[in-house]
């Protein structure tokens, strides 16, 4: 049996003890499953993803879930953001253990982890590992919307020191709505997607005025609409997103499913 560790929010521990780890992650091939890492002799390397995952606001800190998988269980192994190989679990452990520098490597199990496969759950120190990427220390940080985490410690000072063209504050809502009206019907997709980018930086917004974009003929606009309003506290967001669960475009459906899963976990 191959031993792996899965890092998750402490709030998920009771559910994991009861029913295992659900397949909430998304692999490189689009399949759902569970990300984990082999248990190595080095404690630091085993828990190297702790600081990076802690950036995303997990309630109550992170816990380490040790799982035992059959040696012949097929998994995907590789460095993040690169092509992964499909190998048995025992082979994934061997490959990573043989690396001179296994930082940034990961294992993806393309299914849920059953309760009987959970070996133990324990607390883990929140200071082990790297942030952003291995060897990021000393490299100028990126403050673009895709890299920064809203509410992260020191993020405001970082944005003031290293402003990015896509940083806020966003234009006033009335200005953005005027641009939506000027775009016409159905409207230029590139213009509408830029407007939705700015609306996505707000915590609340004019949902009723933007609701027609949920039916825009361009799927890119509909997908950006999902990401723009998903964090809003405006009443009616959940119901509007539920209406897009049957969207004909796969990317739109996946965006809605990702948002609903994140809401259920929070």
In a domain, 251, yes or no: yes
In a domain, 213, yes or no: yes
Task: Evaluate if residue 159 carries a pLDDT over 80.
Answer: no
**21, β-bridge pairs:** 113
Mean pLDDT of the chain: 89
Residue 150 is predicted with a pLDDT of 66
205 and 111 in one domain? Answer: no
In a domain, 129, yes or no: no
80-117: pLDDT as tens digits: 988 999 999 999 999 999 999 999 999 999 999 999 99
DSSP-assigned states of every residue in the chain: -EEEEEEEEGGGHHHHHHH-B---EE-TTS-EEEEEEE--S-HHHHTTTHHHHHTT--TT-EEEEEEEE-TT-EEEEEETTS--EEEEHHHHHHHHHT-S--TTEEEEESSPBPGGGEEEEEE--TT-S-SSSTT-TTSPPP-STTT--TT-TTHHHHHHHS--TT-SPPPPHHHHHHHHHHT-SS--HHHHHHHHHHHTT-SS--HHHHGGGGG-SSHHHHHHHHHHHTT--STTHHHHHHTTTT-SSHHHHHHHHHHHHHHHH-
In the chain, the number of structural domains is 3
Residue 166 is predicted with a pLDDT of 67
In a domain, 132, yes or no: no
Residue with tokens 């759950």: 121
111 and 144 in one domain? Answer: no
Residue 167 is predicted with a pLDDT of 66
88 and 22 in one domain? Answer: yes
What CATH number does residue 15 fall under?
3.20.170.30
Quote the percentage of the chain above a pLDDT of 90. 67
Distance from C-alpha of 158 to C-alpha of 156, rounded to nearest angstrom? 5
36 and 104 in one domain? Answer: yes
188 and 85 in one domain? Answer: no
39-84: pLDDT as tens digits: 999 999 999 999 888 877 666 789 999 999 999 999 999 999 889 9
102 and 45 in one domain? Answer: yes
In a domain, 130, yes or no: no
Residue 156 is predicted with a pLDDT of 78
> Final residue of a domain: which of 94, 123, 152?
123
At 149, the pLDDT band (50, 70, 90 cuts) reads low
Segment 116-135 mean pLDDT: 87
Residue 132 is predicted with a pLDDT of 76
179-203: pLDDT as tens digits: 999 999 999 999 999 999 999 988 9
In a domain, 63, yes or no: yes
117 and 38 in one domain? Answer: yes
81 and 8 in one domain? Answer: yes
99 and 7 in one domain? Answer: yes
Task: Evaluate if residue 261 carries a pLDDT over 80.
Answer: yes
104 and 6 in one domain? Answer: yes
In a domain, 219, yes or no: yes
At 265, the pLDDT band (50, 70, 90 cuts) reads low
**Which one has a higher pLDDT value, 139 or 2?**
2
Letter string b/e over residues 42-66, b meaning 16 or more CB atoms within 10 A of that residue's CB: eeebbbbbbbbbbeeebeeebbbbb
The parent domain of residue 44 ranges over 2-123
In a domain, 134, yes or no: no
83 and 157 in one domain? Answer: no
């Amino acid at each position: 049996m191959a031993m792996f560790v899965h890092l998750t929010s402490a709030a998920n521990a009771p559910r994991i003890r009861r029913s295992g780890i659900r397949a909430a992650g998304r692999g490189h091939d689009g399949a759902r499953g569970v990300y984990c890492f082999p248990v190595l002799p080095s404690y630091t390397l085993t828990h190297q993803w702790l600081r990076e995952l802690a950036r995303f606001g997990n309630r109550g800190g992170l816990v380490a879930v040790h799982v035992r998988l059959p040696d012949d269980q097929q998994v995907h192994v590789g460095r993040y953001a690169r092509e992964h190989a499909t190998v048995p679990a025992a082979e994934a452990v061997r490959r990573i253990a043989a690396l001179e520098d296994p930082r940034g490597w990961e294992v993806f199990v393309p299914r849920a982890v059953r309760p009987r496969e959970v070996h133990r759950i324990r607390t883990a120190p929140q200071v082990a590992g790297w942030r952003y990427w291995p060897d990021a220390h000393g490299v100028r940080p990126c403050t673009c919307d895709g890299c920064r985490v809203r509410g992260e410690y020191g993020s405001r000072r970082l944005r003031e020191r290293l402003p990015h063209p896509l940083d806020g504050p966003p234009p006033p809502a009335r200005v953005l709505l005027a641009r939506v009206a000027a775009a016409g019907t159905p409207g230029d997709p590139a213009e509408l997607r830029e407007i939705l980018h700015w609306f996505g930086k707000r915590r609340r917004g004019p949902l009723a005025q933007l609701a027609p974009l949920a039916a825009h003929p361009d799927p890119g606009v509909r997908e950006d609409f999902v990401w723009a309003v998903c964090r809003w506290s405006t009443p009616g967001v959940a119901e509007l997103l539920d209406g897009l669960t049957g969207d004909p475009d796969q990317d739109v459906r996946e965006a809605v499913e990702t948002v609903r899963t994140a809401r259920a976990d929070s």
